[in-house]
Amino acid sequence: MSEDAFNMSIRKFLKEVGVTSQRKIEETVRDGRIGGQIGDKTLKVRMTLTAEGTGLSHVIDGEIELP
């Protein structure tokens, strides 16, 4: 596989992750399924990246400001 094809494959995957993650977060907030966190106007989030058959495990924690 060429380097360009590899990069395009990664970008395609990351685009899908970004778009679907945003939809799920918006649905969760809109449907009010966020429990007690609404009071402090932030939603604590965590994304975990793993790759089957490898030792890859990368965690990103963050906060999203709510409207």
37-57 per-position pLDDT tens digit = 555 688 899 999 999 999 999
pLDDT of residue 34: 65
Q: Is 43 exposed, middle or buried (0-12, 13-18, 19+ CB in 10 A)?
A: middle
3-class secondary structure, 64: strand
- What's the number of domains the chain is made of? 1
| Residues 6 or more apart whose Cβ sits within 8 Å of residue 11 | none
According to DSSP, the β-strands at 57-65 and 42-50 are: antiparallel
Structural domain span for residue 22? 3-65
| pLDDT confidence of residue 59 | 98
